[in-house]
Amino acid sequence: MKVSREQATKNRAHVVEVAGAQFRKHGFDGIGVADLMQAAGLTHGGFYNNFASKDALAAEAVTQVFAETTERLRQYAQAAADRYAAMVRFYLSPEHRDSVETGCAIAALSQDAARGSPELRAAFEAGIAAYLELIVELAGVTRPRAMAIYATMVGALTLARTVTDPVLSTDILTAATDNLLAAKDS
Amino acid sequence: MKVSREQATKNRAHVVEVAGAQFRKHGFDGIGVADLMQAAGLTHGGFYNNFASKDALAAEAVTQVFAETTERLRQYAQAAADRYAAMVRFYLSPEHRDSVETGCAIAALSQDAARGSPELRAAFEAGIAAYLELIVELAGVTRPRAMAIYATMVGALTLARTVTDPVLSTDILTAATDNLLAAKDS
DNA sequence: ATTATCTATAGATCTATAGATAATGC
DNA sequence: ATTATCTATAGATCTATAGATAATGC
């Protein structure tokens, strides 16, 4: 049953990748180690050879998710004429709302993270800092303004995912988008 | 061990009250029925005479929390000269940030709620609708603008609670407050 | 020989229920 | 007699570990 060292490294990375999606989808407490490993095609016993604990995996998965999502957003926005508008529209799109498992870690997990371990919170804090840098860079705004923009995007996506009425949900996304685009530097 | 019907009614209400605080503090999955009942001064076996399930209690507690928090915000803002500014400053105060268990249900639990039962989500949806009405009333803004204001407040509070650096946390609250006050009707 | 992965399980949860108990309220 | 609350427990989780297995890589 043993695999090559190279394959083992790939397996480990795959567990982190799967965990990033599963945690966002189900929440940190909504998915167990055994189910995570099964989703990655492994048995749960092997987990602790690769990770010190479920919490350590969570911190690692969150770091990975931030790296992926900020890079994706950067690529997308940099190709657009109006980078600020592209960023806002991308973040507040119905597609992002309907794709929790591949979307923003903050919008999916930050409330649980705030109750989490120092390690987990540190991973989020680093991700938030990088995200703010990205907004400053893409939108050409001040750091305080980037904070307000980020807050509006996170809050709107969170609200849009909480309500069940599709009209209200879309209205929230549209309202936040319109307000952000109308007042870029306010 | 039996108590009067009157006392039983009080006990039930007390469980809902305690649950509202404990759920906000620990998350829906972070506190069990036995611990909730113990915090209310009862044993966990009696729980199911009063509630159909833990989820039913969650929906009831959330409804109660929204009623309390919106009423408190209304009272506070209506006594101020600038109701809009009072509302924003109240919501984005360090005191609110540091009082998860008595604060806004959305900022504490909405991400878990989005993964929850239809009953739970319905309780949140009604609370959100009432909150938007309150903002429209207090701030005298349009409904779309109320959505953007609410989104900014929820997102900023969520971010401020996620980071561990107290300076960054306060900066986020201040940035969101300043932006909202500078652009009330944008 | 080393080690990546497996099976199996310990120990500690959790939700929900069954049945006993004892005070209320007809 | 009714019923609010209690004790005790069933059954299903969950995290983490112990020890076995078998393929890699010296």
With the C-alpha atoms ordered A151, A157, A160, A161, is the resulting torsion angle positive or negative? Answer: negative
Q: Touching check for A104 and chain B: CB below 8 Å?
A: no
B9 touches strand C (CB under 7 A): no
pLDDT, mean of residues B140-152 = 97
Are B112 and A114 inside 8 Å of each other by CB?
no
Query: Which residue, among A27, A40, A10, A11, has the nearest Cα to A101 in the 3D structure?
Result: A27
Q: Which nucleotide is nearest to A11 (CA to C1')?
A: C4
Q: Which protein residue's Cα is closest to nucleotide C21 at C1'?
A: B1
Distance of residue B33 Cα from the nearest chain A Cα, in angstroms: 16
Confidence of residue A124 (pLDDT cuts 50, 70, 90): very high
Q: Name the token pair of B7.
A: 């006392």
A47 touches strand D (CB under 7 A): yes
How confident is the model over A51-83, as pLDDT tens digits? 999 999 999 999 999 999 999 999 999 999 999
Q: Touching check for B169 and chain A: CB below 8 Å?
A: no
Q: Chain C: nucleotides under 7 Å from a protein CB?
A: 3-8, 13-19, 21-25
Among all chains, which residue has been given the structure tokens 């305690």? B18
Query: Which residue, among B148, B160, B54, has the nearest Cα to B107 in the 3D structure?
Result: B160
Confidence of residue A184 (pLDDT cuts 50, 70, 90): low
Buried b / exposed e over A33-57, threshold 16 CB at 10 Å, is: beebbeebebeeeebeebbeebeeb
Q: Touching check for A62 and chain B: CB below 8 Å?
A: no
A4 touches strand D (CB under 7 A): yes
Question: Which pLDDT belongs to residue A45?
Answer: 86
